[in-house]
Amino acid sequence: MDTFDVMVIGGGPAGYVAAIRAAQLGFRTACVDEFTRNGKGSLGGTCLNVGCIPSKAMLDSSERFEMIQHDAAEHGIDVDGARVNLSKMLGRKAGVVDKLTGGVAYLFKKNKITSFHGLGQLVRQEGEGWVINAAGTEVLAKQVIVATGSSPRALPLAPFGGHIVENSGALEFSEVPARLGVIGAGVIGVELGSVWRRLGAQVTILEALPGFLMAADDAVSKEALKQFQKQGLEFHFSVNITDVQQDDAGVTVSYTEKDQTVTAQFDKLIVSIGRVPHTAGLGADAVGLALDERGFVKVDSHYRTNLAGIYAIGDVIGGAMLAHKAEEEGVALAEMLAGQAGHVNYDVIPWVIYTSPEIAWAGLTEKQAKEKGLTVKTGQFPFSANGRALGHGDPRGFVKVVADAQTDRLLGVHMIGPNVSELIGETVAIMEFGGSSEDLARTVHAHPTLSEVVKEAALAADKRALHM
C-alpha cells in the first residue's frame, strides 16, 4: 500500500492550497478529488469550477455589455447593434475555468503532489495512520485533511432539476431566460441575478427575511437595495414560498407576501438559499468522525477533529463560506502539522460582492461594534466627490469607516462603489496590524485614484475630510 505523510480529501481552495503548502514543507502529499468536468477530473473545487471564477467571468462579460449599451454614449462613444452571443460568452467563461483548473494540476505536478481523481473515503485506522480509499486505491496516510466543501441547500418544495437550478445550472443557461425567478436574496441571488438581468432577463428575487445582505453594514445594504432596484432587479421581502410546480414551459411559484397570496410564472428558477456541508460518501460514520447538528465536521482551534490524525478545513467546518478563508485555513493547518504557528485572523476576513456597484467590507459593522459595548465614531465619504470616479463615469456609493471613539482603533470598513473589491485590501492590512483610522488617514494615497475615498472616509471619522 502506498503511504503518504498527508492525504487531502477534496481539491477545492481549502484542500489544494493545504496540499501545496504541505508539499512545500517537505511532506509526501496526495490529494483525492472527485469533481468531474467534461468527463475528466478538474481540480479547484466549487470555487474554480462552478463558483467564484465562472460567476466573476460572467459578471465581467455581462457588465461590459451593460456598459456598452448604457454608458458608452455618455463617454462620447456611439455603439449601434450591440448584442449578446451567449454561447461565445459561456465559452470564454469555460476557457477561464480551464486555465485555472489546469493551473492547479500544474502546481500539483510542480510540487510533486500525487493526485487521484475520484471519491476519497475514510476506511479505518491502521497503526499510527489512516487507510483511505482514494478513487478505488487504498493508501495509508499519517495525517488526513478533510476539505470536502459544501453543496447548495435545496428547498424541499423545489428540488433541483429541469428548470430549477443551483449555482452550476445558473451559470449555464443556453439562452437568456425571459423571466427568471430567484429564491434567496443572498450573495448568489444578487450576483447571478445581476448577470442575467444585464443580459436581458426580467429578474424577480424572493427573500424570506424582511431585508437583505443582513451581514453588511445597514448603510451599505440600504444603498445596495436602492441601486439594484434602480437597475430593474425586482425584490420581494418577507415572502413565504408555499408551492413550486414545473412543467415543460417553466416554473410556477406560489408565495405569500404581506398576507397576499401571489403566483408567479418563470422560465427558470435559481434556488440560492445558502449552502450545506458536503460529507456524503466520505465514510464519516464508518470511522466515527464527529459532525455537529448541522452536519459540519467538528474541529477545535487547530482544525483537529475528534479522531487523532484527522483534520478538517474550509466550507465543511462552517464559518464564512469563502474561498480565501478556506485557503488561509489550508496554509495554517499545513504549517501547524509542520510544527509551525499557523494562524487565521477570523476578525478581518474580507467579504466582497461583485455586483455593480461592488460591495466590500471587513471587520465590525457599526451595529456590531455598538452591540459589543464599544463607543464608536464613523466617517463616510462618497465616490461622487472623487475625481477618478467622476472620470470613470461611475460615482455611485461611498466608503464608511468605523473606529473606536476612545482609542481610534480601526474596527471595520464598509464600501459600496466602483472597484471596491480592490480597495478593501489596504484596510484589512491596517486592521491586521491593529492600526487606527488616523493611520489610514495619514497614509499617502495616489491622486487621482478611487482609493482617495478610503482616506477621506478615515479623515471624516475625525471630522476633517478635505474634499467634502
Question: Which residues ranging from 281 to 320 are in contact with ligand NAI (CB under 6 A)?
Answer: none
By CB under 6 A, name the one of 22, 57, 132, 147 that touches ligand FAD.
Answer: 147
Judged by DSSP in three states, 235 sits in strand
Sheet holding 410-417, edge to edge: 351-353, 358-363, 410-417, 398-404, 376-382
Contact between 419 and ligand FAD per CB under 6 A = no
Q: Which one of ligand NAI, ligand FAD, none is in contact with 29 (Cβ closer than 5 to 8 A by kind)?
A: none
Contact segment (CB under 6 A) with ligand FAD among 51-59, 65-73, 216-224, 376-384 equals: 51-59
Q: Which one of ligand FAD, ligand NAI, none is in contact with 209 (Cβ closer than 5 to 8 A by kind)?
A: ligand NAI
Q: Where do the H-state alpha helices sit in 386-419?
A: 387-392
Question: Which residues ranging from 205 to 224 are in contact with ligand NAI (CB under 6 A)?
Answer: 206-209, 212
Residue whose CB is less far from ligand NAI, 8 or 52 = 52
Contact between 228 and ligand NAI per CB under 6 A = no
Task: State the nearest-atom distance from the C-beta of 144 to ligand FAD, in Å.
Answer: 11
CA distance 111 to 241: 49
By CB under 6 A, name the one of 287, 353, 376, 389 that touches ligand NAI.
Answer: 353
Q: Which one of ligand NAI, ligand FAD, none is in contact with 353 (Cβ closer than 5 to 8 A by kind)?
A: ligand NAI
Residue 348's nearest CA partner among 274, 413, 421, 437 is: 413
Cell 429564491 identifies what position?
Answer: 183
Question: Which letter does DSSP use for residue 49 in this model?
Answer: H
Quick one: cell of 45? 473545487
Q: Are 452 and 386 a contacting pair, CB within 8 Å? A: yes
Q: Which one of ligand FAD, ligand NAI, none is in contact with 189 (Cβ closer than 5 to 8 A by kind)?
A: ligand NAI
Residue 52 CB-half CA count within 13 A: 16
Contact between 326 and ligand FAD per CB under 6 A = yes
Residue 27's nearest CA partner among 37, 35, 18, 36 is: 18
Q: Are 171 and 54 a contacting pair, CB within 8 Å? A: yes
Catalytic positions: 447
Rounded to 5 degrees, φ, ψ at 59 are: -65, -40
By CB under 6 A, name the one of 273, 299, 364, 410 that touches ligand NAI.
Answer: 273
Q: 232-236, long-range: CB within 8 Å, 24+ apart, which pairs?
A: 232/197, 232/202, 232/203, 233/190, 233/193, 233/194, 233/197, 233/203, 233/205, 234/202, 234/203, 234/204, 234/205, 235/185, 235/205, 235/207, 236/204, 236/205, 236/206, 236/207, 236/262
Q: Would you give the binding string for ligand NAI spanning residues 155-194, x where CB under 6 A is met?
A: x---------------------------xxxxxxx-x---
Taken as a whole, the chain contains a residue count of 468
Contact segment (CB under 6 A) with ligand FAD among 76-84, 123-131, 142-150, 249-257 equals: 142-150
Helices (H) and strands (E) in the chain, counts: 14, 24
Contact between 148 and ligand FAD per CB under 6 A = yes
The amino acid present at 219, given as its one-letter code, is A
By CB under 6 A, name the one of 201, 299, 316, 352 that touches ligand NAI.
Answer: 352
Residue whose CB is less far from ligand FAD, 46 or 115 = 46
Q: Which one of ligand FAD, ligand NAI, none is in contact with 250 (Cβ closer than 5 to 8 A by kind)?
A: none
State the residues that interact with ligand NAI by CB under 6 A: 155, 183-189, 191, 206-209, 212, 241, 272-275, 321-322, 352-354
State the residues that interact with ligand FAD by CB under 6 A: 9-15, 32-35, 45-47, 51-52, 55, 119-120, 147-150, 167, 188, 278, 281-282, 314-316, 321-324, 326
